Copies of this chain bind each other. A is one copy, B any other.
């Protein structure tokens, strides 16, 4: 990858970074309501570094319809996948509206779908059914593993089993829960630290290139980049942090300039 504005002068200190359309090294952005003009403006600067955008929580339901349509179109024109937060599908499941939700989601222009059970209980049969119905409608599917509430987490072994099952049933990627804050959820403790033993346990024989780590905090991004290299898949990146993350991947930030 050449450095646009300094090409032929310097090279990225970390080599081998993938380019769009990426199979690994995905950056998934968490979007809590970036307005339409700012989205357009932001893409002119960052589009090469963004692979997926999540309209997080149920925020997509709060957009005036024309604004949502315009936003989805803008993102997809840049080769960026876009999906509503998993909580919205969980709400639809609770209301017995999962199938209409999938149909309507497709009509709205979403091309990815997240299947999660972060806040509700969901049987394996329902989870499998959602993955399959979504695939049938042309969605690429992200499942999420992990609970939002502290103390309700799965063990690394249970997470690994769920992860393997989801991939077998057709999920394209599996997201590891980290919430927007990166604290007190999924694999993170209340200060956003991760238990290294738990991590290694989770990883035993897991296909790391099919995992997207929710890692909103720099220290988390750094940990995964050091463990897996510049092409680890990272999620819940705030829009304003996309260039900072890309600099971290490429060794253009103090923390990764030099080899360890």
| Complex interface: chain B residues within 8 A of A5 (CB) | 60-65, 68, 108
Binds B, one of A42-50, A123-131, A156-164, A166-174: A42-50
12 residue pairs from A and B, CB less than 8 Å apart:
A4-B61, A4-B63, A6-B60, A10-B61, A32-B244, A38-B42, A44-B67, A49-B62, A59-B243, A62-B250, A91-B251, A119-B258
Decide: A36 and B45 in contact? CB cutoff 8 A: yes
For the side of the interface on A, what is the size category? 35 or more
Q: Do A97 and B41 touch across chains, with their CB atoms under 8 A apart?
A: no
Q: In this assembly, does A151 line the interface, its C-beta being within 8 Å of a C-beta of chain B? A: no
- CB atoms of B254 and A148 under 8 A apart: yes
Copies per assembly: 3
Quick one: CB contact mask for A50-66 with B, threshold 8 Å, 1 for yes?
Answer: 00000011111111110
Report Cα–Cα, A3/B64, bound state, in Å: 9
Does A244 contact B33, Cβ atoms closer than 8 Å? yes
Report the minimum CB–CB distance from A144 to chain B (whole Å): 11
Interface check A35, CB cutoff 8 A: yes
Q: Using known A-B contacts A45-B67, A257-B90, determine if residue A101 contacts B252 with beta carbons closer than 8 Å.
A: no
Taking CB atoms, residues of chain B closer than 8 Å to A91 are 10, 13, 251-252, 257
Q: Does A37 contact B (CB under 8 A)?
A: yes
Tell whether A241 is near chain B: CB-to-CB under 8 Å. Answer: yes
Question: Which residues of A207-246 have CB atoms within 8 Å of chain B's CB atoms?
Answer: 218, 240-244, 246
